[in-house]
Amino acid sequence: EWPAHWRVSFWGDVGDMPRNVLLFLPAGYFFRLSLAREQRCAVPLALAFGTCLSALVEAAQLFLPARGCSLADVIANGTGAGAGAVLCAAVR
């Protein structure tokens, strides 16, 4: 049975989405920066890295009674990491 204190939703607080995107921009930027300049598929790798990192953060929030997790946060965070990688490529 699902523990009573676990709060999982699909959308969560949609107003947090811009903040979640901005929060993961540096993660994608520095992930892309850590790869070789000629690395192929760097943006999809950064997107996957950000999504996995976000899923781990959201899973950890399951064990905090005052927090909840949502799939929308994972999507927004992954999008932010991908945007950070694109920004890094543009700056380079």
Q: pLDDT tens digits, the chain, 92 residues: what are they?
A: 566 666 667 776 777 889 999 999 999 999 999 998 888 899 999 999 999 999 999 888 888 877 778 888 999 999 999 999 999 999 98
DSSP state of 41: T
Give pTM, 2 decimals.
0.83
Q: Give whole-number Cα distances, 85 to 2, 39, 47, 49, 58, in Å.
A: 37, 12, 8, 11, 22
Residues whose CB is less than 8 angstroms from the CB of residue 28 and which lie 6 or more positions away in sequence, other chains included:
46, 47, 49, 50, 80, 81, 82, 83, 84, 85, 86, 87, 88
